[in-house]
Amino acid sequence: MPLEPELQRGGPGGAAHHSPRPLSQTDPFIRVENVSKSFGTFQAVKDVSLTIEKGEIFALLGGSGCGKTTLLRMLAGFEDPSAGRIFIDGQDMTGVPPWARPVHMMFQSYALFPHMTVERNVGYGLQHEAMTAAERRDRVREMLELVQLAPYAGRKPHQISGGQRQRVALARALARAPKLLLLDEPLAALDKKLREQTQFELMNIQDKTGVTFIVVTHDQDEAMTLSNRIAVMDKGQVRQVGTPTDVYEYPASRFVAGFIGAITFFEGVVESLGDTARIAVPDFAGPQATGTVQARPTAGLKPGQKVTLAIRPEKFSISRHRPEGPNVLAGVVRDLGYFGKDSLYRVALPSGGLVSVHAVNARRAGEAERVADWEDAVWLSFDPSAAILLGE
Amino acid sequence: MKTTTADKRENWFNRRGWRDVIIGAPYVWLIAFFLVPFLIVLAMSFATRTPTAPPFSFGGDHPLLNPEGYARLFQDDLYLRAFLTSLMNAGFATLFCLLIGYPMALGLTRIGRGWRNILLMLVILPFWTSFLLRVYAWMGLMGSNSWFNKLLTGAWNGLVPVDWAVRSIPMMNSNFAVVLVTVYTYLPFMILPLYANLEKLDRTLDEAAMDLGSRPSRVFWDITLPQSIPGIIAGGLLVFIPAAGELVIPSLVGDAGRPMIGRVISDEFASARDWPMASSVAVALLVLMVLPMMAYTHYQGRAEGRERAEGRQ
């Protein structure tokens, strides 16, 4: 269940830093210009353009095979774009090999060198820097302290835990102070508890170092909590770029709405437009409801046009008594999942369609007195601002 | 509980007796065909040579242990020289096998699946022809009247001053010929363990090293080579040990005046009929070969034990 992103970002990560920054149109730190990549006849990345600001945590989010990893590998220099160009800090990266890029990567498997100690792993990149041995040692120490691994300097990678390996990989990637750090599924190999803790640690470290992070992930929660902005990718294309709030609350397409968080779609027709749009939704019609709802209009809608109305489960209110308000539906509880702090209902509408409703159990109630039970007739309502209109 | 046919079969396999047979079979094999013959050779090395059949006996001046064979190893420099020649030829052969085999093994891991199987097949293919035939083929090639020798001679004469010109290059009956044919013969034994080792290496590590600023050549020295040391040692032992004891190759293409140890053992047995001496040389060769291996295994085991102990802290 996706939580409100604003809530999660208030965690111990020191969230003030993580408010979205305004985009300066003049000099983006990273510019991906119409980049495509084909492997034989398969087009992994199709005409992607992105700009990423300095100091941002930017997430590339998508399912497997969406092209996010290929895009990351092109940024690192392991793959050359078939078309288009990548600029990092104003420098055209075309033809620049991985070892000459101011970019370091944290690999999904961590790719620690098994024959070297933690210390030598972290210091590996520093051999290419003009430093004295003492300076190098100090830098390694500093990095190990940053990730709280100083006592483990002499261990080999197989002698430390998965979470510690992840931090060694991070320290190694940060040791040469890259301009850009690429993180390939940084939390995927960790168990749930460690993942939450590491998430905030990553944000803290990004905050301290100021390095720009690009995170590849298939996990929407990870993308939402970690990043300032998210690019949602599908079939090699970027479908939407925006802050976590943007992509969650204002998805630009049915794909993005469905990919991020849970949502229920209804087909409808625009009846009238104005301060609020009136939409006829056949699914909502029934003996006790008119089937016309009010929603906040989006640009480009015309009366008579077919639209998709999308509503997230937590935007509904559920009650036994008919509430006041413009958008009220009647239904029957078909399924009920009780999670303690909240409950998930599947409510059948008169038309037969099922709606997911997610309600916080704010009131302390026993089983007999809870809001609704299996096969109870209930009323659902939602605010006109809660409905997303997608005029695809 | 129902007993199915599968359960019965499993029970039958799990019976203690079967397990013992399966575990015991290799031991029986090693005892019968390695340990017992070795003990016979070891005993024989302390026997006294006699003009009887078999040509040795226990008794005489040294009732049980006659160390004469071992003493002669150090008295007659024939043996020391033979050991040195063997170690040198085997050493060079191992070195060249490594220098030729390593790039081939590495290349095999970097090539597409389809080609890889064909090329691996080609590495093993020479084994399908008789070993002797292949050595004779080399004798033909190295002989002073062969097209191969003439080609090399022509190239040599064309490149060097006139004073250095030769009628043919004397390749046959030399240590050079022994090393050349040994390298040719044992190359697959170097390539295959190296390939098995290199193929398992995680290529992501190469990418990580490149990402951290290392050029591909540096990646090889820092990442690939250190991780392939077990493969190098395995391939090295597989080439070095049989090459040092090699009998056929030096007999056919080697320098008769500077015999290798295999030849010495063979001559002592067959021509001189001095079985105790031959056995002493054989035992000395075995000790010479096994000691470094044991030292390596011991050292390796200790290093691993130390790492494990540190990991537990």
Give pLDDT tens digits for A214-264.
999 999 988 998 999 999 999 999 999 999 999 999 999 999 999 998 999
Q: How many CB pairs under 8 A join A and B?
A: 68
Confidence tier at B310 by pLDDT (50, 70, 90): low
Share of chain B above pLDDT 90, in %: 64
Q: How far apart are CA A190 and CA A196, in angstroms?
A: 9
The residue-averaged pLDDT of B114-143 equals 93
Question: Which residue in the block uniquely carries the two structure tokens 């597989």?
Answer: B238
Option in B211, B215, B227 nearest A115 (CB) = B227
What's the whole-number mean pLDDT along residues B214-230? Answer: 95
- Percent helix, strand, coil in chain B, to 5, is 75, 0, 20
Task: Provide residues of B within 8 Å CB-CB of chain A.
Answer: 202, 204-205, 207-215, 222-223, 226-227, 307, 310-311
Query: Contact A99/B210, CB-based, under 8 Å?
Result: yes
Q: Is the pLDDT of residue A289 over 80?
A: no
Residue B48 scores a pLDDT above 90: no
Mean pLDDT (chain A, rounded): 88
What CATH homologous superfamily does B77-273 map to?
MetI-like (1.10.3720.10)
Which residue among B204, B215, B227 sits closest to A109, beta carbon to beta carbon?
A: B204
Q: Is the pLDDT of residue A12 over 50?
A: no
Report which residue type is found at B144: S
Closest-CA residue of B relative to A74 is B211
DSSP helix/strand/coil, B192 = helix
User: Do residues B237 and B90 lie in contact, with contact meaning Cβ atoms separated by under 8 Å?
Assistant: no
As to burial, measured by CB atoms within 10 angstroms (0-12 exposed, 13-18 middle, 19+ buried), residue A111 is: buried
**Candidates A78, A79, A110, A124, partner chain B, best to mutate (most B CBs within 10 A):** A124
Q: What is the DSSP letter of A256?
A: H
In the predicted structure, residue A114 carries a pLDDT above the cut 90 = yes
Average pLDDT over residues A310-334: 90
The long-range contacts involving A13-22, CB below 8 angstroms and separated by at least 24 positions, are A13/A199, A13/A200, A13/A203, A13/A204, A13/A207, A14/A203, A14/A204, A14/A207, A17/A203, A17/A207, A18/A57, A18/A203, A18/A228, A19/A228, A20/A228, A20/A229, A20/A243, A21/A53, A21/A55, A21/A56, A21/A228
Mean pLDDT, rounded, of chain B: 89
Span B184-207, average pLDDT: 95
Do domains A5-102+178-259 and A264-390 share one topology? The answer is no
More confident residue, A123 or A201: A123
Beta-ladder partners of A309: A266, A389
Are A261 and A220 in contact by the 8 Å Cβ rule? The answer is yes
pLDDT band per the 50, 70, 90 thresholds, residue A22: very low
User: Are the C-beta atoms of B237 and B229 separated by less than 8 Å?
Assistant: no
Contacts of A131 in chain B (CB under 8 A): none
Question: How high is the pLDDT of residue A115?
Answer: 94
Per-residue tokens: A250: 């204002």
What confidence tier does A15 reach under pLDDT thresholds 50, 70, 90? Answer: very low
B214 vs A99, A104, A156: nearest CB: A99
pLDDT of A2 reads 40
Which has the closest alpha carbon to B188: B282, B253, B125, B251? B125
pLDDT digits (tens, 9 = 90+) for A125-175: 999 999 999 999 999 999 999 999 999 999 999 999 999 999 999 999 999
Integer distance in angstroms from the first to the last C-alpha of chain B?
46
Summarised one tens digit per residue, pLDDT across range A329-385 is 889 999 999 898 889 999 998 888 899 999 988 888 777 777 788 888 899 999 999
Using the predicted structure, report yes or no on whether residue B14 has a pLDDT greater than 70. Answer: no
Q: Are A125 and A90 in contact (CB under 8 A)?
A: no
pLDDT of the residue at A290: 76
Residue A188 has a CB neighbour count (10 Å cut-off) of 15
- Above 50 in pLDDT, residue A119? yes
Nearest residue of A to residue B227, measured between CA atoms: A115
- pLDDT mean over A91-105: 94
Taking the CA of residue B223 and the nearest CA in chain A, the distance in Å comes to 7
Is pLDDT of A191 > 90? no
What is the structure's pLDDT at B169? 87
Q: pLDDT grade, residue B205 (50/70/90)?
A: very high
Contact B238, B189 (CB under 8 A): yes
> To probe the interface with A, which of B197, B203, B207, B211 has the most A CB atoms within 10 Å?
B211
**What is the predicted pLDDT for the residue at B2?**
56
Asked whether the predicted pLDDT for residue A10 surpasses 60, the reply is: no
Residue B49 pLDDT more than 70? yes
pLDDT tens digits for range B95-125? 999 999 999 999 999 998 899 999 999 999 9
Determine the longest span between alpha carbons in chain B, in angstroms: 95
CB neighbour list of residue B179: distance below 8 Å, 6 or more residues apart: B89, B92, B93, B96
Q: Which two tokens stand for residue B224?
A: 């690939």
pLDDT score at B3:
59
- CATH classification for the domain delimited by A5-102+178-259, as one of 3.40.50.300, 3.40.720.10, 3.30.70.940, 2.40.30.10: 3.40.50.300
Q: What's the pLDDT at A21?
A: 45
| Pair B268, B44: CB distance under 8 Å | no
Classify domain A264-390 by CATH number.
2.40.50.140
Q: pLDDT digits over B247-304, tens only? A: 999 999 999 888 999 999 999 999 988 999 999 999 999 998 888 788 878 877 777 7
**Percent of chain A at pLDDT above 90?**
61
How far is CA A129 from its chain centroid? Answer: 35
- Residue B58: band (very low, low, confident or very high) from pLDDT cuts 50, 70, 90: confident
Question: Shortest Cα distance from A188 to chain B (angstroms)?
Answer: 17
| Structural domain boundaries in chain A | 5-102+178-259, 264-390
| Token pair for A165 | 């390996």
- Between A20 and B235, the more confident residue is B235
Distance from CA of B215 to the nearest CA of A (A): 6
CB B278 within 8 A of CB B100: no
Q: Which pLDDT score is estimated for B308?
A: 63
Minimal-distance CA residue of chain A relative to B219: A99
Query: What pLDDT, on a 0 to 100 scale, did the predictor assign at position B134?
Result: 94
How far A109 CA sits from the closest chain B CA (Å)?
8
Whether A159 sits inside 8 A of B211 (CB atoms) is no
